[in-house]
Structure 1
Amino acid sequence: MNRPAKHAARPLADLMHDWSKRAEQVIPGRVASLISDALFQDQRLLVGADLDPGTIDAYGATVVLALQLKRSTWTRWNILAEAARQTRLLRTKDVDARLNVLSAIAKSAERHSISLTAPELVPVPVQRRDGESVYTVHNGQIYTSPAVLGAESVLLDLAADVNGPVLSGYHTSGDLGEDKAAVLRRVASSGQRIETVVGPAGTGKTTLLAELKTAWNAGFGEGSVVALAPSAAAAEVLADSLDLPADNVGKWIHESIGIGAEQRQTWIAESERAAQLAINAGRRRRAQRFYTAAAAARTERDRWRLRRNQLVIVDEASMVGTMELACLAREADRAGAKLLLVGDDSQLGAVDTGGAFRLLVNETNAAKLTEIWRFQNTWERQASLDLRAGNREVFDVYDDHGRLHHGPAEDIENTAYAAWQADLTLGRTSLLIAGDNATVARLNARAHVDRVQTREVEPQGVELHDGTSAGLGDTIVTRLNARRLLTNHRNFVRNGATWTILRRWPDGSLTVRGANDETVTLPRTTCARGSSWATPPQPTAPRAKPSTPHTSSSPTT
């Protein structure tokens, strides 16, 4: 089923009138006055003149700070939307007063931003009523901030610096492809502080990194390679592939230069001060305990610090934000280490401010892996590259090989679901993908009902945030990292991890089993309705290898 058609746009005033009439049918009397009395009986409503210019300027700066954490560029529309979010708790006298406040904040935010739109060199005689040229997009002027430009400048400058660590005397092994050998020789000998390696899916990036890790540790000693990834789940995969500890970028920044580092430094200072006071008071054992605690904290601090000649590998670097990459680059430069960014600039970008990886790829002539190894069918290797490049003619290739199927949305959904069920019956891992959340929820509910009928799962369960339920035998996916919630293998619960429910407790908590027979009990507060911590029973649940994907999509997907 496709998304229903949107209603025709109507003026806000007309909608407000209709809503008021519907409310009057339920609550006789003046609805607006009742709501106003209930919300603002002890509060004077604001008008634009009530806000001091300094307050407006503070809101403008806050808007820019919020925008630069989400995107690298923005327009006035983005500024107005963020200003509305930042001032949502301000109660104004009427709509005009709020619009005036938002307009003033937007002008302040524009002053805190840097315009990237070229000025008009020649006046255009055809203009709109407001004086704008008819050839410009209304409110379409593009802005950025000094912080974003500064972060990009740091990355480009360090990428041009060739005084970084060099792995002397390195020789590649004979079983590597020519493209991998060339990339490894370049990374080992270039001396670039920041180096980028681009590899489409299936080019053997993991194999390359494993070879590089071995060579770098041999040249500079064990522990000379630091592995990072954009998420905890990706870090776990990277750690397994390279056989060394790995963490996500956000955690590393938090512990090395962020709030975690600040709190640890405060703890060290307070512990050493307390130890000195204990010595002065003649309490030597107490002083020893404080010094031991301070030493442990210093050891933890050193664990998160980079050192000279280390190689910092960031896998899936296109998904890491610009500000985070700049933080890593500064710390690597300060320590005398090398930052290696590996990924594919044609795949998913960062959720927050992104584009830095692609910028580095284009501006620094990145090393590239070109030979595809993953596919068994030879034709799929070139087809995957054409699909990555956006070549529409490649769909004919997939169609010729029977990979595309079409039909009414309901039939396609049923076919994909039946294929998923057949895969599970054969003991395969099966991935069922849908184009929108509504279809995902419907497939989840359908899978739950079918598995209840076959007695694979219990009919009752804990109600989740979207109204579906999960009980004994169901599969769920955790959606947040919980580093203090440890499994029986002493690993923390990761975002994106898949679990099978083993037991549902009376208080609503769930005991679940994950990969490698790890078990943990998820507290009730993480599973109950209203929490997005755990998602519903998943048709995408892994069962056993090999893996088969099935996709149900609409023309708008």
Structure 2
Amino acid sequence: MQAGDGRWYALNTNLIYKAKVAASELYTAALEAGLAETFGIQFVERTTGRGKRPIREVDGIDPALNTRWSTRRRQIEHRRDELAATFLADHGRPPTEVEMIALAQRANLETRDAKPEPRSLAEQRATWRIQAEQVLGARGVDRMLAAAFGREPVHAQTPTIDWLIDTSARIIGVVEQDRSTWQGWHVRAEALRQARAAGVSTELLDRVVDTLVDLALETRSLRLTKDDPIEEPDALRRSDGQSVYTIPGMDWYTSSRILDAEDRIVAHAGRADGRVVAREVVDLAMLEALANGTQLTPGQRELVGSMARSGRRVQLAIAPAGTGKTTAMRTLGAAWTESGGTVIGLAPSAAAAKALADQLDVPCDTLAKLTWSLDHPDQPQPAWMAAIGADSLVVIDEAGMADTLSLDRAIEHIVGRGGSVRLIGDDRQLSAIGAGGVPADIEAAVGACRLVEVLRFDDPAEAEASLALREGRAEALGYYLDHDRIHVGDMATMAHAVLDAWTQDHANGLDAANARPDQGPRHRAEPARAAAPPRRPHHARSRHRVGRRLHRSRRRPGDHPRQRPPVAGRQP
């Protein structure tokens, strides 16, 4: 990029990356506004999958046509996957990113049909018309076109001051549902969505969005980023007066609503006026577990005893994967039930709630179900929700993945009904976008129970390696490399390799699972899963116990490394 002084500078790609969603929303908003003003075309939202933001489509266009005219992409991807597999076999390594681009280009050429003879636009449109009629029929195409293009051009109205103020509040309301802290890019993307939905004209779009962003950040948000106390000389300032060390758009914000929610949760964690299970009942539950073949480790026994007898309204247990969290929670539930109480499980996702129900054998549901029911009091409540009372213990699994506002609503309701809450999670687990620092705040203020001895592995070295990997220590990779546990490849090659390994394990009577950050390509996996015969469940192998202990933090809030900074304009 060439500056005004004639000198060339490199673009800050970090900012480009952060702005990509807002840039995409700007393109979509400008395109929709232009089409609406010129042709009267309107757009509607179409859901593409659970948990994904809806996409915008032209209102009236049949989705079946998208499927009809999307065959080329599938052909190219299938051929590219074949070429990548051949490359791996020939070279003994997966193709690099540049090589994958070349393979994709080759796949594009190899799957392309021979170019037809030159044709006019009228001839091409006639071909498209024939293809559309094959899907919708002749009358169906006419009806579709009349629905999509039969409207008058839209004449946008100028937004009012009241609309700008109300919309800025709505923007922050949407953003804080998705995340506990945000930057200007997040607010700008949502402002563009709101402006698009309101039909703001192309002429006013930039001015309206800038105003919405300013209102949302200056009047509805609290800035977390501290100002630099050092004054730079003029030689170190840009033309706009900003320091050259200041990166635009990098300030972080939150809201008083988020901070108040965090304060309420920590305050509930400091209360010790809840239900207490008698010591002999806890001991009896542990003996019952032993009689059923489950011997609790000292760490598990201390965790169960603490969570059953502490009287805490809200208590936190930090337990990494494989440390026996499920066994401890099952025993805690047995002790609570034996004393005359009831146990309920909640989790951030439906999959986690189902897994929790299978593990604890108690009613389990999602946090979203609870908050939705609270927001819709006119709708029937779930039976488990209506039964929450002074004898109830609610176990919230994967608490670090829950968004702050939902967690606050749930705890407020449960404690308000006289119940007690136990938060279970892993402080090193990658949090969801909406998750805040509530677990760290609770641990800093009142302490937390910890399980750190791994029981999942037969090999003690592997158990230690898993803990080191969890802590982000690079040397932990040595164990996995030495034992051929790490395989490198592009997404397509790895997807095929994982499915082949899963199919082989399933055929050999072994349990196998695969995990990835998104759903990814499933066109090859689904037929294989459907064809696989069901197998009878079997018991897991015996496991070693490796180095776990229970630890309670007694640090003061000021000693905690994640203590949040003071916010301008807010009293501590």
Q: Calculate the TM-score normalised by the size of structure 1.
A: 0.63
Residue of structure 2 equivalent to 1:445: 523
Length, aligned pairs only: 395
After superposition, the Cα gap between the structure-2 partners of 1:89 and 1:40, relative to the gap in structure 1 and judged at 3 Å, is: farther
| One-letter identity of the residue aligned with 1:253 | T
Higher strand share: 1
Q: Is 2:479 the counterpart of 1:397?
A: yes
Q: Which consecutive unaligned segments of at least 5 residues does structure 1 have? A: 1-5, 28-36, 265-296, 457-472, 476-499, 501-514, 516-541, 548-557
Residue of structure 2 equivalent to 1:511: none
> Counterparts in 2 of 1:241-252, with a 5 A limit?
241-252=359-370
SS of 2:379's partner is: helix
After TM superposition, the structure 1 stretch with the greater mean CA deviation from structure 2, 225-234 or 338-347, is 225-234
> Counterparts in 2 of 1:215-226, with a 5 A limit?
215-219=335-339, 221=340, 223-226=341-344
CA drift of 1:420 comes to 2.8
Any conservation in 2 of the 1:195–1:341 contact (CA below 8 Å)?
yes
> Counterparts in 2 of 1:106-505, with a 5 A limit?
106-110=213-217, 111-125=219-233, 126-170=236-280, 171-172=282-283, 173=286, 175-219=295-339, 221=340, 223-255=341-373, 257-259=374-376, 261-264=377-380, 304-350=386-432, 352-406=434-488, 415-433=497-515, 440-441=520-521, 444-447=522-525, 473=530
Encode CA deviations 1:41-96: one digit per residue, 9 max, x unaligned.
Answer: 443245xxx3222211111101000011001011111111110011113444435x
After superposition, the Cα gap between the structure-2 partners of 1:373 and 1:414, relative to the gap in structure 1 and judged at 3 Å, is: same
Residue of structure 2 equivalent to 1:510: none
Q: Is 2:201 the counterpart of 1:83?
A: no
Q: Distance in 2 between matches of 1:140 and 1:358?
A: 24
| Percent of aligned pairs sharing the same letter | 29
User: In angstroms, what is the RMSD of aligned CA positions?
Assistant: 3.8
After superposition, the Cα gap between the structure-2 partners of 1:351 and 1:127, relative to the gap in structure 1 and judged at 3 Å, is: closer
SS of 2:474's partner is: coil
SS of 2:465's partner is: helix
Encode CA deviations 1:290-327: one digit per residue, 9 max, x unaligned.
Answer: xxxxxxx9xx7785242114211112222222112111
Encode CA deviations 1:270-308: one digit per residue, 9 max, x unaligned.
Answer: xxxxxxxxxxxxxxxxxxxxxxxxxxx9xx778524211
Higher helix share: 2
Any conservation in 2 of the 1:429–1:543 contact (CA below 8 Å)?
no
Any conservation in 2 of the 1:428–1:543 contact (CA below 8 Å)?
no
After superposition, the Cα gap between the structure-2 partners of 1:224 and 1:411, relative to the gap in structure 1 and judged at 3 Å, is: closer
| One-letter identity of the residue aligned with 2:303 | V
Residue of structure 1 equivalent to 2:65: none
Q: Distance in 2 between matches of 1:408 and 1:332?
A: 47
Residue of structure 2 equivalent to 1:44: 155
After superposition, the Cα gap between the structure-2 partners of 1:546 and 1:336, relative to the gap in structure 1 and judged at 3 Å, is: closer
Encode CA deviations 1:235-254: one digit per residue, 9 max, x unaligned.
Answer: 23322322222222222333
After TM superposition, the structure 1 stretch with the greater mean CA deviation from structure 2, 171-180 or 146-155, is 171-180
CA drift of 1:26 comes to 6.0
Q: Distance in 2 between matches of 1:159 and 1:330?
A: 11
Residue of structure 2 equivalent to 1:534: none
| One-letter identity of the residue aligned with 1:206 | T
| One-letter identity of the residue aligned with 2:191 | A
Q: Distance in 2 between matches of 1:448 and 1:210?
A: 34
Residue of structure 1 equivalent to 2:90: none
Q: Distance in 1 between matches of 2:423 and 2:526?
A: 41
SS of 2:513's partner is: strand
| One-letter identity of the residue aligned with 2:261 | A
Any conservation in 1 of the 2:370–2:385 contact (CA below 8 Å)?
no
| One-letter identity of the residue aligned with 1:238 | L
Any conservation in 2 of the 1:429–1:544 contact (CA below 8 Å)?
no
CA drift of 1:447 comes to 4.7
Any conservation in 1 of the 2:316–2:423 contact (CA below 8 Å)?
yes
| One-letter identity of the residue aligned with 1:84 | L
Any conservation in 2 of the 1:428–1:545 contact (CA below 8 Å)?
no
After TM superposition, the structure 1 stretch with the greater mean CA deviation from structure 2, 246-255 or 130-139, is 246-255
Q: Distance in 1 between matches of 2:304 and 2:223?
A: 40
CA drift of 1:148 comes to 0.7
Any conservation in 2 of the 1:321–1:356 contact (CA below 8 Å)?
no
The structure showing larger relative contact order (alpha-carbon pairs under 8 Å, at least 6 residues apart) is: 2
Residue of structure 1 equivalent to 2:134: none
CA drift of 1:201 comes to 0.8
Residue of structure 1 equivalent to 2:207: 100
Any conservation in 2 of the 1:68–1:353 contact (CA below 8 Å)?
no
Encode CA deviations 1:95-116: one digit per residue, 9 max, x unaligned.
Answer: 5x21110011111111111111
Q: Which consecutive unaligned segments of at least 5 residues does structure 2 have? A: 1-16, 35-119, 123-147, 288-294, 541-572
SS of 1:196's partner is: strand
Any conservation in 1 of the 2:343–2:392 contact (CA below 8 Å)?
yes
| One-letter identity of the residue aligned with 2:275 | P
> Counterparts in 2 of 1:508-523, with a 5 A limit?
none
Residue of structure 1 equivalent to 2:51: none
Any conservation in 2 of the 1:61–1:109 contact (CA below 8 Å)?
yes
SS of 2:196's partner is: coil
SS of 1:69's partner is: helix
